[in-house]
């Protein structure tokens, strides 16, 4: 049986970074998984400091990542933390999450001793 290769978490991180840096403009970034120009992003953040999380996915292949702590750029709309999922779900579909690789090593800046 043939296996299907999907883009790595690192490829998704790069696409997210390129997409994020272009905001609030229209980012010219294609999906690292399928190559379509269908990437989407939605933020959920605190109204006071615009710090929250991001859901980043492809509207064509329905793969993507979740960023757990980020700042929402000025000029970009976001959902205020506490918005019911029923409202967010009207924009954000259920997509297949791409996870970072499993490792036993702690990041150098984790603040934890091994």
33 CB neighbour count, 10 Å cutoff:
23
What is the spatial distance between Cα 18 and Cα 8, in angstroms, rounded to a whole number? 16
Judge whether 106 lies within some domain. Answer: no
Q: Which domain holds residue 73?
A: 9-97
What is the spatial distance between Cα 93 and Cα 2, in angstroms, rounded to a whole number? 28
Judge whether 71 lies within some domain. Answer: yes
Which string of DSSP letters, residue by residue, matches 2-70?
-------HHHHHHHHHHHHHHTTS------TTT--S-EEEEEEE-TTT-EEEEEEEETTT-EEEEEEEE
pLDDT value at position 9?
A: 95
Judge whether 110 lies within some domain. Answer: no
What is the spatial distance between Cα 41 and Cα 44, in angstroms, rounded to a whole number? 10
Nearest to 10 by CA among 30, 39, 33: 33
Find where tokens 């929250």 sit. 52
pLDDT value at position 108?
A: 65
pLDDT value at position 103?
A: 76
pLDDT value at position 36?
A: 97
pLDDT value at position 4?
A: 63
Judge whether 43 lies within some domain. Answer: yes
Judge whether 13 lies within some domain. Answer: yes
pLDDT value at position 113?
A: 53
Judge whether 24 lies within some domain. Answer: yes
**Are 72 and 43 spatial neighbours (Cβ–Cβ below 8 Å)?**
yes
- Per-residue pLDDT 10s for the chain (114 aa) are 555 679 999 999 999 999 999 999 999 999 999 999 999 999 999 999 999 999 999 999 999 999 999 999 999 999 999 999 999 999 999 999 999 988 766 666 655 555
pLDDT value at position 54?
A: 98
pLDDT value at position 107?
A: 63
pLDDT value at position 101?
A: 87
Q: What is the tally of structural domains in the chain?
A: 1
């Amino acid at each position: 049986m043939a296996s299907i290769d999907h883009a790595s978490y690192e490829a998704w991180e790069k696409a997210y970074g390129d997409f994020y840096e272009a905001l609030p403009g229209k980012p010219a970034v294609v999906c690292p998984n399928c190559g379509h120009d269908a990437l989407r992003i939605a933020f959920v953040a605190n109204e006071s400091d615009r710090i929250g999380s991001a859901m980043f996915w492809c509207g064509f292949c329905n793969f993507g990542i979740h960023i757990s702590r980020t700042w929402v750029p000025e000029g970009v709309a976001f959902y205020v933390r506490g918005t019911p999922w029923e409202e967010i779900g009207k924009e954000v579909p259920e997509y297949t999450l791409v996870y970072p690789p499993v490792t036993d090593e702690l990041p150098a800046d984790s603040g934890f001793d091994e």
